[in-house]
Amino acid sequence: MLKINNLHVKLEEEDKQILKGLSLEVPAGEVHAIMGPNGSGKSTLSYVLSGRDGYEVTEGEASLDGEDLLDMDPEVRAAAGLFLAFQYPVEIPGVGNMTFLRTAVNAQRKARGEAELTAGEFLKEVRAKAAELQISPEMLKRPVNVGFSGGEKKRNEILQMAMLSPRMCIMDETDSGLDVDAMRLVSEGVNALRSPDRSFLVITHYQRLLDHIKPDVVHIMSNGRIIKSGGPDLALEVEHNGYGDLLAEAD
C-alpha cells in the first residue's frame, strides 16, 4: 500500500534537514505504529506524505499502490485514498462542520468520477457515524474545530476519516490530550475501520493507544530515520525503558 524509500526532506526556507533517509513499507490491511522522541520528524513525515507546502524532498520516493505520491497535489492524494488525522486540527471560523465534511466528501467523489451524495444520504451517514463517536448534532453545526476541546477536535478528525473512507490512514498523535473514555471511542472508531484493504500508520508517544489498536509492526523513529522495527513488544520495551537504550544502540 504505502512505500517510502530513502526519503530525505529539508525545510524549503532554511537549510535544515529533517528526514534523513527514511524507509518504511505498510502493506494492505496492516497497522503500523511509529514511536519516537519529540522532534524526530514524525509530523514532518505525515505532512510531506499529504503534500503540505514548505518542505523540499531532496532524495528518495514515496508511493501509494505504486503511484508516486510526491508529485500529486494534496487534494489528488486525498482522492487517491490518503488521509491524515492532524496532530493540531485547524480551525475554520464561519464554516459549519457539516458543510466542511459534505464539501470534502463530494469533492473526493467527484474527483473519482462517482456520483455526489444527496443531502439526505449524507445526513443519514454523518449522523450515524457521529453518534458512534459521541459527537453531538450541535457539534456538527458549529464551525470546524472552533471552540472544540482537544478531545473533541481529535474525535472530529476520526469522524472525517470515517466519512471519507480512505485506504491509507495516517494518524498523528491522535491520542494526545484524550482522556480514557475518549481514547476508547477513538480506538473503537479506528478498529471498526480496519479491513484487509485499508492500512494505518499510527504515530504515538504512548503504548496506551496500542493496547486498544493492536499494531502489526512498531517502528522507532529518531533524528529523521527509522532506527528499529519490530512487533508490538517493541512498544512495551519503549514504555518501560524509554528511548535511551535504543538510541544508543543506533548510534
The residue ranges that bind other proteins (CB under 8 A) are 50-53, 73-75, 77-79, 83-84, 86, 89-96, 98-100, 102-108, 110-111, 119, 122-123, 137, 140-141, 143, 160, 164
11 binds, among ligand ADP, Mg ion, other proteins, none (CB under 5 to 8 A by kind): ligand ADP
Site residues for ligand ADP, 25-84, by CB under 6 A, read 36, 38-44, 54
Residue number, 130 or 170, with CB nearest to Mg ion? 170
Nearer to ligand ADP (CB atom), residue 126 or residue 220: 220
Number of residues this chain uses to bind ligand ADP (CB under 6 A): 11
Block residue for cell numbers 512495551: 236
Nearer to Mg ion, 43 or 97 (CB): 43
Q: How near is the Cβ of 104 to other proteins at its closest, in Å?
A: 4
Minimum distance, C-beta of residue 86 to other proteins, in the bound complex (Å): 7
Supply the minimum distance, in Å, between the C-beta of residue 90 and Mg ion: 15
164: left (phi over 0), alpha (psi -120 to 50) or beta: alpha
Which partner, ligand ADP, Mg ion, other proteins, none, binds residue 41 by CB below 5 to 8 Å per kind?
ligand ADP
Residue listed under C-alpha cell 484524550: 178
The grid coordinates listed for 97 are: 462542520
Partner from ligand ADP, other proteins, Mg ion, none contacting 189, C-beta within 5 to 8 A by type: none
The residue (of 135 and 201) whose beta carbon lies closer to Mg ion is 201
Q: Which residues bind ligand ADP (CB under 6 A)?
A: 11, 18, 36, 38-44, 54
